[in-house]
Chain A
Amino acid sequence: SQQGEEDPQALSIQEGENATMNCSYKTSINNLQWYRQNSGRGLVHLILIRSNEREKHSGRLRVTLDTSKKSSSLLITASRAADTASYFCATYTGANSKLTFGKGITLSVRP
């Protein structure tokens, strides 16, 4: 079963604009991670935020976590055409080391 649900399912923006993607989950977590997947390829880890953190930055990425609302958001600033990909949130409960992924968000960045 998939715990995380991303919103929106698809997002199309112009290069240079910011992209915001949201993720909601159902159970308590140890951490939440965001991954990127280019078409037909493997997943690449972007950023991890622990349950006791509220905000984290990495380059053009900013992720927030609200454990009271069981939600997270990923902001990509100054988007580039190369950011075009599917983005997945994944939750880790610590119970058995597996990640539970959402269905993903398809981001298209128009040059």
Chain B
Amino acid sequence: DTGVSQDPRHKITKRGQNVTFRCDPISEHNRLYWYRQTLGQGPEFLTYFQNEAQLEKSRLLSDRFSAERPKGSFSTLEIQRTEQGDSAMYLCASSLLAGSYEQYFGPGTRLTVT
């Protein structure tokens, strides 16, 4: 399967702990996006990369959140000092640089902060 993959699929952590999620995009896709989705809502944009450059960060992304995409391949999203309000589904998507604007989503990582 050459789709977008995310790891882990589920993460339960205690408040105050750090967590890191990984996303592997479709190999030829230059753009990679992170979204957060809470129950009953649509995905909300967090940040996106073009190759290894992080081009935009949402104001939703507090300084406890950091994302990287070394070498323009996989990406990681780290949340430090997790809070209960961080509980959500974290979705990764990728797309081609030019042409199609369609985004391909991974299955998501569901984070529960207890």
Please report A residues at the B interface, Cβ cutoff 8 Å.
2, 4, 30-31, 33, 35, 40-45, 48, 88, 90, 92, 96-104
> Is B102 located at the chain interface by the 8 A CB criterion?
yes
Q: Is the interface of B mostly helix, strand, loop or mixed?
A: strand
Q: Which residue of B lies closest to A44 (CB)?
A: B105
**Which residues of A lie under 8 Å from residue B93 when comparing CB positions?**
43
Is A33 in contact with B107, judged by CB distance below 8 angstroms?
Answer: no
CA–CA, A46 to B8, complex, Å? 26
Query: Is B101's CB under 8 angstroms from A98's CB?
Result: no
Determine the chain A residues whose CB is within 8 A of the CB of B45 once the complex forms.
98-100
Which of A4, A41, A88, A92 is the one whose CB lies under 8 Å from B107?
A41
Most B-side CB within 10 Å, residue of A2, A31, A44, A97:
A97
